[in-house]
């Protein structure tokens, strides 16, 4: 019995398992390992400058001749620049920024974190998420004619025609039925329904409830389930809820190929199902992160973080310093609620093969529940 759904043909893959585009973590080595294993590796390119993205694509092509994808963010709030608007007290986020940076500096002093030297980047996240960055990334996606593009936030509608002309298959990650309807109207090929259990930016709605509702709204477009799907049982459940496959992030973080620090991989292995929290303290949008001194500092202070992209100017120095100092208590990273299932750091191919075998076993055993009826 082989795990196979119609999405395999659509994407040119062997098993309906897609590596989630996890910003920074889903590097060429990890994406290629998943593609070479028969799934679809998706690069987490959200913070890449255009030249860096071009280089990642070339590296991935050197590591695999199988299809792969590129994931970036297209949040409407940043594209329309509504985040520049003032709050009820008449202050814009830009005016509030210095006070928030003081908060971060005090936190760093308290934690003994040293300000890192500025990183040399080609207009990537060090310049902040911006309309210009998102548009420059899309130009590379189109020029490179990548096999698959995934928008992690927002609607890829304005770029659909050019991607379609290249033969690029387009996916869109959604967290609500109304967002699913919007991307259906834009003509995407695949929808990813990402629930509250997921690592990173996610939805207020749990995966179990969101997935079938997105499937119903998808007008026959295939849907991948996402959020908390960490082993084969989760994949089988997603298929039972009407999905055509799974978009999986956290399960691939504790792998040799994932581009996160060893202390972050260890934080995942050590965590339980209660180890994560939803916080705006990292990017300004609600995201699931492993509980840390930084996420707790905002809760304790009772301060609402700034909107995206300003909060990244506040959090980046802290996270960079914590990374440089191997501080898992400050910067353990984004992860989903399934991390309690992750017990060791392994090769990505092994994780993928185990997920596939687990899904086949769970689906094969499903008929048991009908005995005696």
Structure tokens at 150: 């995934």
Spatial CB neighbours of 182, under 8 Å, sequence gap ≥ 6: 155, 157
Could you tell me the smallest distance in angstroms from the CB atom of residue 368 to ligand FMN?
27
Binding of residue 199 to ligand FMN (CB under 6 A) = yes
> Could you tell me how far CA 313 lies from the centroid of its own chain?
20
Q: 208 to 227, contacts with ligand FMN by CB under 6 A?
A: 226-227
Nearer CB in complex with ligand FMN: 21/232: 21
Q: How far, in Å, CA of 106 to CA of 87, rounded? A: 25
Binding of residue 124 to ligand FMN (CB under 6 A) = no
Q: How far, in Å, CA of 181 to CA of 188, rounded? A: 10
Nearer CB in complex with ligand FMN: 87/241: 241
The helix or strand, by DSSP H or E, that contains position 84, with its residue range, turns out to be none
For residue 148, list its beta bridge partners.
69, 169
Could you tell me the smallest distance in angstroms from the CB atom of residue 13 to ligand FMN?
17
| Maximum Cα–Cα distance across the chain | 68
Point out which span in 115-123, 160-168, 177-185, 332-340 binds ligand FMN (CB under 6 A): 332-340
Angle separating helix axes 28-36 and 50-63, nearest 10 degrees:
30
Binding of residue 174 to ligand FMN (CB under 6 A) = no
Could you tell me the smallest distance in angstroms from the CB atom of residue 107 to ligand FMN?
22
Nearer CB in complex with ligand FMN: 113/290: 290
DSSP assignment of 269-317, as one string?
HH--TT-EEEESTTTSS-EEEE--HHHHHHHHHTPPPPPTTHHHHHHHH
Binding of residue 152 to ligand FMN (CB under 6 A) = yes
Name the DSSP class of 373.
-
Binding of residue 249 to ligand FMN (CB under 6 A) = yes
Binding of residue 234 to ligand FMN (CB under 6 A) = no
Nearer CB in complex with ligand FMN: 8/193: 193
Q: Are 14 and 242 in contact (CB under 8 A)?
A: no
Other CB atoms within a 10 A radius of the CB of residue 223 amount to 28
Could you tell me the smallest distance in angstroms from the CB atom of residue 252 to ligand FMN?
8
Q: 349 to 368, contacts with ligand FMN by CB under 6 A?
A: none
Binding of residue 21 to ligand FMN (CB under 6 A) = yes
Binding of residue 149 to ligand FMN (CB under 6 A) = no
Residue from 70, 198, 243, 356 touching ligand FMN (CB under 6 A): that is 198
Binding of residue 334 to ligand FMN (CB under 6 A) = yes
Residue ranges of E strands in the chain: 17-19, 41-44, 68-72, 148-151, 169-174, 190-194, 200-201, 223-226, 245-248, 276-279, 287-290
Q: How far, in Å, CA of 68 to CA of 88, rounded? A: 45
Could you tell me the smallest distance in angstroms from the CB atom of residue 99 to ligand FMN?
28
Which residue bears the tokens 């971060």? 104
Point out which span in 18-26, 50-58, 87-95, 137-145 binds ligand FMN (CB under 6 A): 18-26
Could you tell me the smallest distance in angstroms from the CB atom of residue 258 to ligand FMN?
9
Nearer CB in complex with ligand FMN: 156/249: 249
Binding of residue 333 to ligand FMN (CB under 6 A) = yes
Q: Which residues bind ligand FMN (CB under 6 A)?
A: 20-23, 25, 44, 46, 71, 73, 152, 173, 194, 197-200, 226-229, 247-250, 333-336, 338
């Amino acid at each position: 019995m082989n795990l196979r759904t119609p999405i395999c043909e659509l994407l040119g893959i062997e098993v309906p398992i897609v590596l989630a585009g996890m910003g920074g973590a889903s590097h060429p080595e990890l994406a290629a390992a998943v593609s070479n294993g028969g799934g679809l590796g998706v690069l987490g390119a959200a913070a890449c400058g255009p030249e860096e993205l071009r280089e990642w694509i070339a590296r991935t092509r050197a590591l695999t001749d199988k299809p792969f994808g590129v994931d970036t963010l297209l949040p409407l709030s940043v594209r329309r620049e509504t985040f520049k608007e003032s709050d009820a007290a008449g202050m814009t986020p830009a005016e509030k920024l210095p006070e928030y940076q003081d908060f971060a500096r005090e936190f760093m002093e308290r934690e003994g974190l040293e300000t890192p030297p500025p990183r040399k980047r080609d207009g990537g996240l060090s310049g902040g998420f911006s309309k210009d960055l998102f548009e420059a990334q899309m130009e590379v996606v189109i020029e490179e004619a990548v096999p698959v593009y995934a928008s992690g936030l927002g609607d890829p509608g304005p770029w659909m025609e050019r991607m379609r002309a290249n033969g690029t298959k387009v996916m869109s990650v959604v967290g609500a039925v109304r967002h699913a309807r919007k991307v259906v109207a834009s003509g995407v090929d695949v929808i990813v329904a990402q629930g509250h259990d997921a690592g990173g930016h996610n939805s207020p709605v749990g995966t179990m409830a969101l997935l079938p509702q997105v499937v119903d709204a998808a007008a026959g477009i295939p849907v991948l389930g996402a959020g908390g799907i960490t082993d084969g049982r989760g994949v089988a459940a997603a298929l039972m809820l009407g999905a055509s496959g799974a978009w999986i992030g956290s399960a691939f973080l504790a792998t040799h190929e994932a581009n996160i620090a060893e202390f972050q991989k260890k934080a995942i292995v050590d965590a339980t199902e209660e180890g994560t929290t939803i916080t705006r303290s990292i990017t300004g949008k609600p995201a699931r992160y492993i509980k840390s001194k930084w996420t707790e500092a905002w809760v304790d202070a009772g301060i609402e973080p700034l909107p995206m992209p300003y909060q990244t100017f506040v959090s980046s120095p802290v996270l960079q310093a914590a990374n440089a100092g191997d501080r898992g208590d400050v910067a353990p990273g984004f992860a989903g609620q399934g991390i309690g299932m992750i017990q060791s750091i392994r090769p990505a191919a092994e994780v993928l093969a185990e997920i596939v075998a687990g899904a086949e076993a769970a689906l094969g055993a499903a008929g048991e529940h009908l005995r005696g009826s």
